């Protein structure tokens, strides 16, 4: 649901699930298992398509695990993946992510940090697609579909967004080219942007599209490292030069201060829309006070969780 509410109305709440602590723990376990499965499948198969096959298996495992954790254990039917308009939200995420990243590269190029010198005769496209699908689905299912949703029920939207954004940045410190500074950039940029996409739609499809196309285009078109994961050989042959704040250094284009600011601004705009549509909720204590004053809480209907 993308409209029909204003900021004066009671925020839509979904507090009908159960075993939230167990959901949280199983969500973390799901993330670790999916990562292990992706690496194992890719290693066993071998060949150019191995990473993509591993990513597809890991993504399927993440979606299945989400439905089990949220549905069978949490007592909810996986509303974050259901309802009308999901394909439209996915398409919007793909288009918005492509536009944001292309704009960021264009601005960096204007400042002299990125210059296209040719087209690759043999671009690596399967690996970037694997990075997009693997990270885009697994991380969104766990960080937004489980962690953000559960923490929001306890702490409210803003605290849950802050915590999951911080965790999202810290988890990328394991990448070879990452640092505390670049992880902080991901907190500000991707953590806020992707969390806002979930809060705006109350579903995962917009975040899926944003994350998948962002990673895929970074590596597969602009030949940039993805979150410090190493140099990629994509469609464009380009020279990157200039200070780290401009180019992103070993972190890649998404580590540029310009990209961080652009992603952050886009995330803030989505949060403003989410707030106007009543999709943000306060901490438990405040919600209880509002309930006692205004009556029964509203509960989300299918398609907006």
pLDDT-wise least confident of 15-24, 115-124, 150-159: 15-24
Query: Which residues, listed in sequence order, are joined to residue 237 by a DSSP beta bridge?
Result: 118
Write b or e for each residue in 70-86: b if 16 or more Cβ atoms lie within 10 A of its Cβ, otherwise e.
beeebebebbbbebeeb
Contacts of 297 (CB under 8 A, 6+ apart): 10, 13, 15, 287, 291
Dump pLDDT digits (tens) for 15-66.
Answer: 567 888 999 999 999 999 999 999 999 999 988 899 999 999 999 999 999 9
Instruction: Answer yes or no: is pLDDT of 9 > 60.
Output: no
State the pLDDT at residue 243.
95
Q: What is the rounded average pLDDT of the residues 97-102?
A: 97
Write b or e for each residue in 232-265: b if 16 or more Cβ atoms lie within 10 A of its Cβ, otherwise e.
bbbbbebebeeebebbbbbbbbbbbbbbbebbbe
Instruction: Answer yes or no: is pLDDT of 264 > 50.
Output: yes
Contacts of 106 (CB under 8 A, 6+ apart): none
Residue 247 pLDDT grade (very low, low, confident, very high; cuts 50, 70, 90): very high
Q: What is the rounded average pLDDT of the residues 153-176?
A: 90
Residue 192 contacts residue 259 (beta carbons within 8 Å): no
Q: What is the rounded average pLDDT of the residues 275-285?
A: 84
State the pLDDT at residue 77.
63
* Of the candidates 63, 140, 106, the residue with the CA atom closest to the CA atom of residue 259: 106
The answer, as to whether pTM is greater than 0.75, is yes
Alpha helices (H) along the chain: 20-45, 50-66, 86-110, 126-139, 149-155, 157-171, 180-186, 192-201, 205-220, 244-247, 257-276, 284-294
Q: What is the DSSP letter of 302?
A: T
Measured between its terminal Cα atoms, the distance across the chain in Å is 9
User: Token pair 């990673």 is at which residue?
Assistant: 215
State the pLDDT at residue 285.
57
* Of the candidates 128, 126, 135, the residue with the CA atom closest to the CA atom of residue 211: 135
Residue 272 contacts residue 51 (beta carbons within 8 Å): no
Instruction: Answer yes or no: is pLDDT of 12 > 70.
Output: no
CA dist 93 and 73 (Å) reads: 29
pLDDT-wise least confident of 83-87, 105-109, 127-131, 268-272: 83-87
CA dist 124 and 132 (Å) reads: 13
Compare 145 and 302 and report the one with higher pLDDT. 145
Instruction: Answer yes or no: is pLDDT of 118 > 70.
Output: yes
pLDDT-wise least confident of 124-133, 162-171, 218-227, 292-301: 292-301
Residue 86 contacts residue 229 (beta carbons within 8 Å): no
Residue 293 pLDDT grade (very low, low, confident, very high; cuts 50, 70, 90): very low
Q: What is the DSSP letter of 228?
A: T
CA dist 179 and 110 (Å) reads: 26
In a 10 Å sphere around its CB, with 0-12 CB exposed, 13-18 middle and 19+ buried, how is residue 292 labelled?
exposed
Interaxial angle between packed helices 126-139 and 20-45, expressed in degrees from 0 to 180 and rounded to the nearest 10: 160
CA dist 228 and 224 (Å) reads: 9
Instruction: Answer yes or no: is pLDDT of 11 > 80.
Output: no
* Of the candidates 199, 136, 162, 145, the residue with the CA atom closest to the CA atom of residue 23: 145
Dump pLDDT digits (tens) for 183-224.
Answer: 788 889 999 999 999 999 999 999 999 999 999 999 999 999
pLDDT-wise least confident of 118-122, 131-135, 178-182, 291-295: 291-295
> Within a 13 Å sphere around the CA of 7, how many CA atoms are in the beta-carbon half?
6
State the pLDDT at residue 61.
97
């Amino acid at each position: 649901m993308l409209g029909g509410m204003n900021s004066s109305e009671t925020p839509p709440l979904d507090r009908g699930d159960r075993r939230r602590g167990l959901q949280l723990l199983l969500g973390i376990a799901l993330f670790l298992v999916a990562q292990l499965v992706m690496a194992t499948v890719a290693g066993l198969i071998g060949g150019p398509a191995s990473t993509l096959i591993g990513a597809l298996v890991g993504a399927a495992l993440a979606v299945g695990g989400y439905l089990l954790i949220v549905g069978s254990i949490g007592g909810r039917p996986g509303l974050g993946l259901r309802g009308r308009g999901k394909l439209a939200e996915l398409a919007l995420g793909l288009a918005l992510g492509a536009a944001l990243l292309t704009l960021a590269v264009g601005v960096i190029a204007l400042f002299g940090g990125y210059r296209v010198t040719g087209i690759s005769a043999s671009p690596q496209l399967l690996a970037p697609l694997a990075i997009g699908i693997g990270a885009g689905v697994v991380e969104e299912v766990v960080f937004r579909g489980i962690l953000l949703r559960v923490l929001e029920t306890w702490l409210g939207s803003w605290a849950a967004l802050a915590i999951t954004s911080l965790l999202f940045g810290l988890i990328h410190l394991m990448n070879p080219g990452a640092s505390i500074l670049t992880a902080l950039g991901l907190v500000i940029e991707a953590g806020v942007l992707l969390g806002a996409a979930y809060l705006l739609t109350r579903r995962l499809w917009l975040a899926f599209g944003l994350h998948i196309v962002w990673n895929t285009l970074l590596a597969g078109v602009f030949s940039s490292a993805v979150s410090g994961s190493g140099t990629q050989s994509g469609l464009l042959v380009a020279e990157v030069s200039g200070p780290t704040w401009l180019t992103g250094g070993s972190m890649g284009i998404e580590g540029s201060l310009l990209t961080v600011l652009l992603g952050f601004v886009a995330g803030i705009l989505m949060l403003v829309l989410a707030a106007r549509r009543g999709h943000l909720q306060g901490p438990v204590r405040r919600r209880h006070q509002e309930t006692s004053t205004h009556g029964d809480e509203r509960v989300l209907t299918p398609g907006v969780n």
